[in-house]
Structures are given as C-alpha cells and as structure tokens.
C-alpha cells in the first residue's frame, strides 16, 4: 500500500522512539521515499506539547538529563518542569518558575510564580512543526508574571545583560537564532532523515499512564480528576449517568 500511495505517510508514536524501534522506522521511510521534495510523510506524534519547539531551540541532548544529574548542580533552575524526579537533585537549591502548584513547586526551595499559556503571548510549535503565534487572553493572577520578565529580572539582579527589554525584542532574537520560528504556519526546515536499519527490539509499552492528567493544568482541574477517577480507575459514575 505504501509503495502504491501517491503520498505515503507513516506516523510513529513517541513511545516507539526507542533504540530498537526508531532504526527500522527510518529504514521504512527510506525504502518508500517518504521524505522528498514537496512531501514529508515521516511523522512523529510527540508525547509532550513543547517537544517540537524545544528541539528547534536545541533543548535536547543525548542521554536526557543524565549529565545534569551527574554534575550535581548547586542551583537548579526549573522552567515549569513537572515530570522530573526531583529526588535526584536533593542536594541542589531548586528554583521553580511555573504555575498551578504542581510537582516542581512542591519540590522547590524558591517558587517564582509564572503565567499560564493563556496569560501570556508566545510562540508555539505543534507536533508537525507548524509555528503558531498566540496573544494573551487574560491577565495572570496575583504576583504571577510572564516567564521572560522573570528571567529578565533575575538577570538584572545578577548584573547580566540578556540583550532584550521587551517581548518583541526577545522574539526577534529568537527568530534570528532559529529563522523557522518566525514563519507562521509550516516552515521549510530543509532537513533530511538520518539513515536507519535493523529489526525492532524490546517491548513497546503504552507511555501515557493517565490520559486525563498529563500536565499541571489538567491535574489541577476537578473535571479532569473526576474523569481519571471514574473512567480509568472505576470510580462511581452514577452522577454522570444521571
């Protein structure tokens, strides 16, 4: 079917991107010419909302955070990281910038409350690499501030120049570093797939343990908590039935 298809497409789930599964998937893409001029038929369904944007900015490295854990940092600055095992940083001073009082906030020594995505302007990249610009919908509550202003204030306190004084200047600096982030819609990244080969090995498990509680905002939602309890864990659904 792939060979006869005009626009063949393969979607690889994030949970399958293990050492034993990625190589044969890449070999399949090469065999059926899934990536060519005018067409990209090799797609990855990422597990994290910010994964594509993070990859474009270079926020990824081999081995994940293993090197960071091994370095035993004196200070750990956490930018809304709520899926980290903070027990591995027990000897670090943890500064958490985030919202909704999730796992990172509970592990932190210092909390700097930040705005949620609806409370700030930003640049977002969806799972297919499509760049989207967003504006602030509502103001952040209490003392919460937009992330960039927190980092800008920290830099001032440390006597460090970050090179921007406004959101517009920050976005311009980001686009200068990664031009594709300045192109709203789907940009031409000019990338090609690495070669792969070999057989799939190991066990592919289902990576999402609780679909309803995958992020801080969902975990803070009474509705999503009820969905988790009733639909996944066999809680009482009598009220919903009524």
| pTM for the structure as a whole | 0.81
Beta strands in the chain (DSSP E): 10-13, 35-36, 39-40, 42-45, 75-79, 93-98, 110-113, 122-125, 130-134, 185-186
* Alpha-carbon 2 to chain mean position: 30
Rounded alpha-carbon distances, angstroms, from residue 76 to 79, 123, 147, 153: 10, 25, 16, 17
Q: Which of 20-29, 71-80, 102-111, 192-201 is predicted with the least confidence, judged by mean pLDDT?
A: 192-201
Q: What is the pLDDT of residue 103?
A: 93
Q: Tokens 């309803």 — which residue?
A: 212
- 6 Rama sector, left if φ>0, alpha if ψ -120 to 50, beta otherwise: alpha
63 or 116: which carries more pLDDT confidence? Answer: 116
Q: Domain ranges for the chain, please list them.
A: 49-186, 211-241
Q: What is the mean pLDDT of the chain?
A: 87
pLDDT tens, position by position, 184-224: 877 766 667 776 666 766 677 778 889 899 999 999 999 99
- pLDDT score, position 185: 78
Q: Does the pLDDT at position 127 exceed 50?
A: yes
Cα torsion 64, 66, 71, 73: sign: positive
CATH assignment of 49-186, given 3.30.70.980, 3.30.420.10, 3.40.50.740, 3.40.50.2300?
3.40.50.740
pLDDT of residue 124: 92
């Amino acid at each position: 079917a792939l060979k006869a298809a005009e626009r063949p497409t393969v979607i690889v789930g994030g949970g399958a991107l293990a050492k034993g599964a990625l190589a044969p998937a890449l070999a399949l893409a090469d065999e059926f010419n899934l990536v060519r001029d005018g067409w990209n038929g090799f797609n990855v369904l990422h597990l994290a909302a910010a994964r594509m944007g993070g990859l474009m900015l270079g926020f990824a490295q081999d081995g994940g955070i293993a090197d960071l854990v091994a370095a035993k940092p004196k200070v750990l600055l956490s930018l809304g990281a709520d899926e980290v095992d903070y027990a591995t940083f027990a000897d670090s001073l943890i500064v958490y910038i985030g919202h909704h009082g999730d796992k990172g906030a509970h592990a932190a020594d210092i909390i700097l409350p930040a705005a949620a995505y609806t409370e700030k302007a930003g640049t977002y990249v969806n799972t297919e690499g499509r760049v989207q610009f967003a504006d602030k919908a509502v103001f952040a509550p209490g003392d919460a501030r937009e992330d960039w202003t927190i980092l800008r204030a920290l830099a001032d306190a440390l006597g460090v120049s970050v090179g921007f004084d406004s959101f517009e200047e920050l976005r311009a600096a980001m686009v200068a570093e990664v031009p594709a982030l300045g192109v709203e819609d789907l940009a031409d990244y000019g990338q090609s797939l690495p070669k792969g080969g070999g057989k799939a090995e190991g066990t592919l498990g289902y990576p999402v343990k609780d679909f309803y509680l995958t992020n801080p905002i969902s975990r803070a939602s009474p509705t999503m908590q009820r969905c988790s309890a009733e639909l996944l864990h066999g809680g009482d659904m009598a009220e919903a039935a009524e």
